[in-house]
Amino acid sequence: MKKPIFMKYVQLLIISFLMFNTTTILIYGSNVNQIEKELPPPLNIDMILEETIFRRMSVREFTDNPVSDEELSTILWAAFGLREDGKHTISKINNTHAAIIYVINEEAAYKYNPENHSLVIFKEGDFRGNLVRIQYDAPYQIGLCWDADKADPNQGGVELGQIGQNIQFMANALNLGTVVTGEIPPAIERLGLPDNEQGLILMPLGYPAIQYDFIDRPMWISLLPKIKLSVNSLTYSLENLNENENINGDLTDQEISQIIWSSYGFSNYIDNSEQEPVHLRRHRTVPSAHGYYPFEIYVITDEGIFRYYHNILIDIISKYFPVLNSPVDFFGLPIITFLSKVKTGDFREEIAEITSEPNINDAPLIIIPVLNLENAKELSIESAIRFWFYEAGASAHNIMLESTALDLSSRIIYPINSDSINNVLELNENYIPSLIIAVGK
Ligand SMILES: Cc1cc2nc3c(=O)[nH]c(=O)nc-3n(C[C@H](O)[C@H](O)[C@H](O)COP(=O)(O)O)c2cc1C
């Protein structure tokens, strides 16, 4: 039977209405959340680990030159990518990973998905202007957040400190630049994060407006052996980083010196680049909010407890010329470094007991970065402590990277009983022992 022509119209209308709505549902049903942008495989970067540490510095001015997808892919893989063994490129804190990374460029804000090394659209549009202060304009902004259902702010800080180090090292190895920036409330939260997520850090990423310019001039005055290049690259350490349960054996003086230095020491290199607005001449292995460097590094061996002095000249200058405000090196001074004994005796068992980690009993080296709240000045308030845990995470991660480059084992432990650790170190309540890192074979 033949249908009247208007019925055909009605049918067509219904079909196209349904088709339109189905397509709409498909697009919105997949909710921009599901739209993924695959990243190319990361580049193979063979810069020796210690060189990437010597070159670590903040860059705050960028050119408009684009960052390639390959470069971005390499930096994100280093940051928090998955390796062939299914582990991430950083250590778990308290057996958990809670990190979330946002990547923001002129097109959209994306979330990094390490599972299949891709970017998932979070919001379309250019949000960079909403997030940053003008001098930090760059092709990319990278936002570091943590899942508050999985970690508290200090644990989140530690995990993000490891990620921030990987981003800064890898960016620098690619001749790109970045700076860690932290605000209260965090800039990345202006993006409108899901309820369970908390922001901490924003890192611009691009080509430095002022080229890197380093000279190798350690001027190392110390009984500790001078820092040398190992044979392994940053990529090697990221691929082989392992949280070992049992840590024991013996270490050479060279190994001990390299590992302690990686936690908080000064670079062998002098920076001649005259970056704006802050021009430091000798950088340190980790960044520090306001350049305050408020940590004291304690070292425990079978012989006793020692405090690591990274450069006594800087300590003297910042004490007698408080106008300089921070223990940073504006001059390129010689590095006068040493370990000063706090206590004689073997306290490793006590530390193992306090932390409920019997397996570090025989660790030849235990390092504890302790926050001195007095040195944190106005940033010793509760809401800023997470930034110091970021710095502790950066320092601990350096120890893990350096140990791995020397083919040693290491492990980060999140302390549960700060008062008892302070008792062993003979410190009062103005100190917060942030992490315990055991190193050995
Ligand atoms: C948690 C944290 C927050 C920081 N916040 C800022 C910031 O908001 N703006 C900035 O320019 N630098 C910031 N920095 C970078 C420090 O100023 C820098 O690391 C320090 O001055 C030493 O300089 P260098 O990294 O070039 O060696 C921050 C560093 C850390 C670790």
E strand or H helix at 37, and its extent? Answer: strand 36-38
CA angle 43, 47, 51 (to 5 degrees): 145
At residue 420, the 3 state secondary structure works out as helix
pLDDT (tens digit, 9 = 90+) per residue, 359-401? Answer: 999 999 999 999 999 999 999 999 999 999 999 999 999 999 9
Task: Indicate if the pLDDT at residue 426 is higher than 80.
Answer: yes
Contact predicate 110/177, CB 8 Å = no
E strand or H helix at 337, and its extent? Answer: strand 335-344
pLDDT (tens digit, 9 = 90+) per residue, 233-270? Answer: 999 999 999 888 889 999 999 999 999 999 999 999 99
Distance CA 247, CA 259 (A): 15
Q: Which atom of ligand 1 is nearest to the CA of 326?
A: 21
396 C-beta closer than 6 A to ligand 1: no
Regarding whether 423 and 359 lie in a shared domain, the answer is: yes
Q: Mutation test of ligand 1: which of 288, 375, 390 has the most ligand atoms closer than 8 Å to its C-beta?
A: 288
- The residue whose CA is least distant from atom 31 of ligand 1 is 288
Task: Indicate if the pLDDT at residue 414 is higher than 90.
Answer: yes
pLDDT range class, residue 129, cuts 50, 70, 90: very high
User: Could you identify the residue written with the tokens 């000279």?
Assistant: 215
Say which CATH number the domain at 45 has: 3.40.109.10
Regarding whether 162 and 57 lie in a shared domain, the answer is: yes
**Max mean pLDDT range (48-62, 125-139, 235-249):** 48-62
Contact predicate 375/433, CB 8 Å = no
Q: What single letter denotes the amino acid at residue 184?
A: I
Range of the domain at 346: 214-440
Within a domain: 17 = no
Regarding whether 393 and 348 lie in a shared domain, the answer is: yes
Other residues' Cβ atoms within 10 Å of the Cβ of residue 11: 11
Q: What percent of the chain has pLDDT over 90?
A: 87
| Ligand 1 mean position, distance from CA 286 (Å) | 9
Contact predicate 305/299, CB 8 Å = yes
More confident residue, 306 or 132: 306
pTM: 0.92
Question: What is the DSSP track for 2-22?
Answer: PPPHHHHHHHHHHHHHHHHHH
pLDDT range class, residue 109, cuts 50, 70, 90: very high
pLDDT (tens digit, 9 = 90+) per residue, 284-330? Answer: 999 999 999 999 999 999 999 999 999 999 999 988 887 777 899 99
Q: 87-108 b/e with 16+ CB inside 10 Å = b? A: ebbbbebeeebbbbbbbbbeeb
Question: Of 173, 188, 206, which marks where a domain is finished?
Answer: 206
Within a domain: 286 = yes
Regarding whether 77 and 184 lie in a shared domain, the answer is: yes
| Count of the separate structural domains present in the chain | 2
Within a domain: 18 = no
How many distinct helices (H) and strands (E) make up the chain?
A: 11, 18
What single DSSP character describes residue 101?
E
List, in sequence order, the alpha helices (H) in 219-283: 234-240, 253-264
In total, the chain counts a number of residues equal to 441
- The residue whose CA is least distant from atom 19 of ligand 1 is 287
Regarding whether 390 and 299 lie in a shared domain, the answer is: yes
